[in-house]
Amino acid sequence: MSDNAIIYFEANRPVQTLIPAIRSLVSQPRAFFASLPTAIYYRDSLFFASIIVFALSALSIPFLSMLMLFLFPLTLGIVMIGMRFLSSYLRWAASSFAKTRLPTAHAFQLSAYAFLPMMFSALSWFGIAALLASMYLLWLGLVTNCRIQSTTALLMIAVPFVVVTMIGSAMMFILSQVTIS
């Protein structure tokens, strides 16, 4: 196997594929998304996104509180529901604006891989950079994998960007008001 071979996460081999998949995504994002096979099932994407949410919860403990570890199931549920809505929206937007077919499971897979930078979203002001990096990866996936025009893909992710920014801001405000005695 070559050093620059693209590796994707597989739920049936998480230990062997998690770090190589992250390394492939971070070092070669364009090639990673360009050769990403179309997802038929949600299993790999759900497992990958769940690991990222767990890392987000663990990394946020020093900045927010131990409460985040206990909120992990709630956070996981909210993120998974949000990603499901996002993938349904992307399927609809690809059909309506780009006149291309994007299966919901594949849109979920693109969203799960694009969610990787969000594990750093609780680290103070890194949240803004994480959101921008996540949106860039989603745009890159739409452009390179789904072959959607770059301006159309940008317009497609504008709505989720605004929604995620508003929800994230509200959550950060609420969490800043929580104090544990």
How many angstroms separate the Cα of 104 from the Cα of each of 57, 88, 111, 171? 26, 6, 10, 27
Tally helices (H) and strands (E) across the chain: 8, 0
Confidence of residue 61 (pLDDT cuts 50, 70, 90): confident
Q: Find all residues with CB under 8 Å of 135, minimum gap 6, and list them.
A: 114, 157, 160, 161
C-alpha distance across the termini of the chain, in Å:
53
Please tell me the predicted confidence (pLDDT) of residue 48.
96
- What are the residue ranges spanned by the domains of the chain? 14-177
In this predicted model, what pLDDT tens digit does every residue of 10-22 receive, in sequence order? 999 999 999 999 9
Q: Find all residues with CB under 8 Å of 157, minimum gap 6, and list them.
A: 135, 138, 139, 142
Pick from 53, 180, 48, 37: which is nearest to 122 by CA? Answer: 53
C-alpha 47/C-alpha 32 separation (Å) is 18
Please tell me the predicted confidence (pLDDT) of residue 34.
96
Q: What is the pTM of this model?
A: 0.86
Do 87 and 160 contact (CB within 8 A), yes or no?
A: no
Higher pLDDT, 29 or 2: 29
Q: Supply 113's token pair.
A: 């891989």
In this predicted model, what pLDDT tens digit does every residue of 85-109 receive, in sequence order? 999 999 999 999 999 999 999 999 9
Q: Which segment, 27-41, 66-80, 113-127, is predicted with the most confidence on average?
A: 27-41
Confidence of residue 169 (pLDDT cuts 50, 70, 90): confident
C-alpha 86/C-alpha 107 separation (Å) is 8
